[in-house]
Structure 1
């Protein structure tokens, strides 16, 4: 798996036969991902160097050959884990695709993964091969090999009991839903901790604790993440970036571009042009 490059580069493509599956091929030396989330899963294999990352509250080092797995909505970041940086291939399967995998395995629930970095050379090789075929546009072969790669990862590493929703009924989770609804109702709005505290009838310190406990982020990190996710959805419509920046609460288009690259690894232009 030798794919090192002297300069940073990233290419995003999409595979229609796999639910418009997004696939990222990237080589980073100094790029660092800001803490963010996806509504999809993240599966990737480090093919050169090493990545240091946090998933939820756990820190990992993923050397070459490692498989990275992130569940939907789990906050995560990433940066170089060695001087040379890292190269990797990732994809972002949506719940519908993973539900198909789960049904074939008769799991009875969407698969969830407790460990963010896995060691399985055979599955890593299968995933990289499937990714290469998909990026090369070999549709039928890519569809077959990627489905089997995802099935293999799920069969071997998914939690058999699914996710434990222990925090979902907590007071913090109920307050958090109020914060979330307030933010999502007006992403371009100006928010202060006092606004969030007032809607839940708690102190600002409690707001900070609730975000850390439920979302694994500070309120500011969560707000930026919501705005970037909304902006990504609008980018698929062809709306001008300046308008998207205004609608989602960014100071201007350049502000949106900087934060988007820090969370998605590619520029808004590259994200839009992915085929």
Structure 2
């Protein structure tokens, strides 16, 4: 699978066709999303995810603003974006951009760390040159039309955690009081009730602590807030329903949003494009 990507990143690759802008999504894997994007110009408005975003630039120059600075990645580099960090995205040249990205939930990354209470790794530079990490990502991004083998997935998570830990100059801060098990229970509760309004007092009952302390512990463990985590679960379900052809008004109602405009606003804030634009580019994948 790595070899296929190496061929695509060859400097002699033909210029991308402007009429072939597209998004390709891989079959879903718990805690992991894989995708390829191919486009021209500035595609993504400022947005943020609740996952680690790990990518490899395949063709062109990948540009984005991140943590107050303009960044650029060339083929062969690895991009590392942290949960809840605002960023945009576009092609740095007229030749267009092609890249593949993996979105990894912090809860899954934790399984590959040395111990369950370790701090999430933080890498200050979002563009790095690491052939080992590049190859690790290529092992699961090489063929997006196939499921990831379970054994390969476990190996991949372990390898990713090791490489990110080695690059981390400073871990994300952890509260002194260990509330790991309680935060895991809060996360499970949110995932089970994503399609309805969840009240803070419900989470307080699950966690056994006040809401403000809960938010601090949840962010330290998963890199995002309970509210953001809930919204992301709704949006994941919304995308799945959109691909099936359901109208946006019905999708909004089925995923806990108050109406279609509420869905549209959160979709753009999270993915940087409108639901209609995302769906039109996704449907252009004719593999």
- TM-score by shorter chain over 0.5: yes
Q: Which residue of 1 aligns with 2:24?
A: 11
The yes-or-no answer on 1:70 pairing with 2:81 is yes
Q: Answer yes or no: is the 8 Å Cα contact 2:56–2:134 preserved in 1.
A: yes
The yes-or-no answer on 1:267 pairing with 2:274 is no
**Which structure 1 segments of 5+ residues have no match?**
166-184, 186-224
Q: Which residue of 2 aligns with 1:35?
A: 46
Aligned residue pair count: 213
**Please, which of 136, 157, 163 is the counterpart of residue 153 of structure 1?**
163
**Please, which of 98, 114, 118 is the counterpart of residue 108 of structure 1?**
118
Q: Name segments (4+ residues, structure 1) moved above 6 Å.
A: 225-228, 252-259
1:36-83 CA distance string (max 9 Å, x none): 011111000101111110112121011111111111100011110121
CA apart distance, 1:24? 0.7
**If the length of structure 1 is used for normalisation, what is the TM-score?**
0.62
The yes-or-no answer on 1:235 pairing with 2:238 is yes
Q: Which residue of 1 aligns with 2:200?
A: none
RMSD (CA atoms)? 4.0
Structure-2 change in CA distance of 1:99 and 1:268 (3 Å)? farther
Structure-2 change in CA distance of 1:57 and 1:136 (3 Å)? same
CA apart distance, 1:108? 1.8
CA distance in 2, matches of 1:29, 1:236: 23
1:19-41 CA distance string (max 9 Å, x none): 24110122222351110011111
Q: Answer yes or no: is the 8 Å Cα contact 1:95–1:110 preserved in 2.
A: yes
Q: Which residue of 1 aligns with 2:147?
A: 137
**If the length of structure 2 is used for normalisation, what is the TM-score?**
0.60
For residues 1-275 of structure 1, what are the structure 2 equivalents within 5 Å? Answer: 1-3=6-8, 5-6=16-17, 7-16=20-29, 19-103=30-114, 108-132=118-142, 135-140=145-150, 142-163=152-173, 229=232, 232-235=235-238, 238=241, 240-245=247-252, 247-248=257-258, 250-251=260-261, 262=273, 266-267=278-279, 270=282
Q: Answer yes or no: is the 8 Å Cα contact 2:109–2:157 preserved in 1.
A: no
CA distance in 2, matches of 1:53, 1:82: 13
Q: Which residue of 2 aligns with 1:197?
A: none
CA apart distance, 1:118? 0.9
1:190-221 CA distance string (max 9 Å, x none): xxxxxxxxxxxxxxxxxxxxxxxxxxxxxxxx
